[in-house]
Structure 1
Amino acid sequence: MAALEHPAEETPRRPESLKAEGLSREQRLRRPREFQEAYAQGRRWTGRYMVLWLRSGEGAALRLGVVASRRIGGAVKRNRARRLLRELFRRERKRMRGDFDVVLVARKEILDAEWEELVAELRRLAKAAGLLPTADGQEKGP
């Protein structure tokens, strides 16, 4: 048997305790129409590193859409910006409330930011948009 061949019973398996941590298909916006509806509703909050758009209405369920335009740079830079935004949302999603679809648009400065700055900005924008409870525990509507 060649060194690279493995019988099926010897194939390494992923431990059961490791679960996929990414966003499922149901947690993502994929259709252009969903993005256009978010833009058309015109509810946006702008930060230094990102712009947060909200879409409410039929089918909205705290899903994420990510945009990184060519202004960010080449494909490698755009992909990095998208990965950063997805990971930010994934980690903060459990704190968020409401039936809204969220579109995060990367700004060029995101590539030079520290992780803590990105977290702070997403929390600030989400709180302003009513996705996070206020300091007194009350939810604020957009």
Structure 2
Amino acid sequence: MNKERRIKKNQEFQEVFKKGQSIANRQFVVYILERKEQDYFRLGLSVSKKIGNAVTRNRVKRYVRQSFLEMEDRIKTGNDYIVVARKPTQAMDFHETKKSLNHVLKRASALKKY
């Protein structure tokens, strides 16, 4: 993810949390805020210390970023996405993470129809 595609500032996170809609499954909560002026999507990650130590949290974040990168052409543009990881993610491998994110994004209608 290049820098323009990341959500880093607290103010931007709070805006998506307050104005966006949320969809969840057991592993992830995804907040989506529509931004018509953007021709790309932006991604923010939130992985709590409850998930585990720094190594575990960084692995979860890496898996989520890679999943979004691999699904990039299928994800609707013009949106901000914030992915909040829940406790079960600490024991998941990459393929389980990708499958779970795919499921929650499908439920949110955030994937393009082919």
What is the DSSP-based 3-state SS (H/G/I as helix, E as strand, rest coil) of the residue aligned with 1:94? coil
Partner Cα separation in structure 2 for residue 56 and residue 42 of structure 1: 7
Structure 1 residue 62: Cα displacement? 0.8
2:76 counterpart letter in structure 1: R
Partner of 2:49: 70
Partner of 1:119: 98
Partner of 1:95: 74
What is the DSSP-based 3-state SS (H/G/I as helix, E as strand, rest coil) of the residue aligned with 2:77? coil
Partner Cα separation in structure 2 for residue 74 and residue 113 of structure 1: 15
Query: CA contact under 8 A between 2:32 and 2:80: conserved in structure 1?
Result: yes
Partner Cα separation in structure 1 for residue 37 and residue 11 of structure 2: 12
% identity of equivalent residues: 30
Structure 1 gaps, min length 5? 1-22, 138-142
Structure 1 residue 42: Cα displacement? 4.4
TM-score w.r.t. the length of structure 1 is 0.71
2:59 to 62, 80, 90: 80
- The number of residues matched between the two structures is 113
Partner Cα separation in structure 2 for residue 57 and residue 100 of structure 1: 5
Partner of 1:39: 17
Larger RCO: 1 or 2 (CA < 8 Å, sep 6+): 2
Structure 1 residue 67: Cα displacement? 0.8
Query: CA contact under 8 A between 1:30 and 1:65: conserved in structure 2?
Result: yes
1:30 counterpart letter in structure 2: K
What is the DSSP-based 3-state SS (H/G/I as helix, E as strand, rest coil) of the residue aligned with 1:132? coil
Structure 2 gaps, min length 5? none
1:51 counterpart letter in structure 2: V
Q: Which has the larger radius of gyration?
A: 1
1:53 to 11, 15, 31: 31
What is the DSSP-based 3-state SS (H/G/I as helix, E as strand, rest coil) of the residue aligned with 1:89? helix
2:27 counterpart letter in structure 1: Y
TM-score w.r.t. the length of structure 2 is 0.86
